[in-house]
Amino acid sequence: MTTEAVAAVRRFSRFYTNMIGALRAGLLDSPYSLSESRVLFELAQTPEGVDVAELRQRLDMDAGYLSRILGRFEADGLALRERSTVDARRQRISLLDAGRSMAADLSRRSDEQAASLLASVSDVDQRRLVGAMAAIEAILGDPTPSAPAVVLRPVGPGDLGWVVQRHGVLYAGEYGWDETFEAMVARIVADYAAGHDPRREHAWIAEVDGEPVGSIFCVRDTETTAKLRLLFVDRKARGLGVGTRLVDECLRFATRAGYRDIVLFTHDVLADARRIYQRAGFELASSERAPAYGHDLVHQYWRRSLSTSDPLSTV
């Protein structure tokens, strides 16, 4: 731990509490403070009521302070405290109709505040922001790991360069392929950027916690045949189903675009990708051995028919 890190955490805490108005007498122009609003929110998550001791533990709140907050809620007609039917020594608290209405109003105001904060932030910076917040939660929060969310989105500014760079780095590191492979990827990307038909061609980036980790392109091969290109999954995202999600999305788009078949070109050494293609219904059409990227490789051509009734994975 460094003094700089401590100062940065404190600075961010001051910045964010000012940003959301946490220090005002009433949060979001309501009669209730941040602590009271937080208790109200938690009560709204359990319509059937909750044990007061459990609520205190859930919020890590002083018992006396929580009791005063609940007393105010009762006085304002928002909540009702009763003895537990299971243990007479305990109390349960539940919201009344007025309390549920107030909680819903505060939730709506909170959504509006968040939307206002994000209104002037670009889509790219929003993804960076969400990723940074997820990182804070992961580092400082519950140590129990949860499955990270995989998000697919269209390519945006800077993504095409990222696709070329990451392909070059990964395939050089894992397979020893030379710069001619990266040059080939760059040509595919340049052709797409120069004039793709958005009705029949599309490209996606996969993100995990706001960070790009994968790509795929669907482009026209012939009037009736699409081509799957540049499937990529970063090492740190493997095992999360990213490749399967990307291929499924590509197949859905190709089907909606009216193609009857889809083809792809790969190499026998890319075993992980080949398994994804096989699970998605692709079949090997032909193969040949030829030098490429500084190696003697087996080039493979795979094909799959498309039908609106074909089952696709939902992983």
Residue 309 pLDDT class (50, 70, 90 cuts):
very low
- What is the residue extent of each domain of the chain? 3-112, 150-305
State how far the Cα of 295 lies from the Cα of 111, in Å rounded to an integer.
55
CATH 3.40.630.30 fits 150-305, yes or no: yes
The DSSP annotation for 73-112 comes to: HHHTTSEEEEE-SS-TTSEEEEE-HHHHHHHHHHHHHHHH
**Mind listing the pLDDT tens digit for each residue in 195-217?**
999 999 999 999 987 789 999 99
Contact indicator for 92, 84 with CB cutoff of 8 Å: yes
Of the listed ranges 70-79, 131-140, 279-288, the least confidently predicted one is 131-140
User: Count of CB atoms within 10 A of residue 46's CB?
Assistant: 16
pLDDT at 259: 96
Strand partners, 287: 300
**Top-level class of domain 3-112:** mainly alpha
**Mind listing the pLDDT tens digit for each residue in 20-65?**
887 777 778 888 888 889 999 989 888 788 888 888 888 888 989 9
Of the listed ranges 38-47, 123-132, 164-173, 180-189, the least confidently predicted one is 123-132
**Mind listing the pLDDT tens digit for each residue in 213-257?**
999 999 999 999 999 999 999 988 888 889 999 999 999 999 999
Q: Do domains 3-112 and 150-305 have the same CATH topology?
A: no
User: Count of CB atoms within 10 A of residue 215's CB?
Assistant: 26
**Mind listing the pLDDT tens digit for each residue in 116-155?**
988 888 876 776 787 777 777 777 876 555 567 788 999 9
On the question of pLDDT at 313 being above 50, the answer is no
Report yes or no on whether pTM surpasses 0.85: no
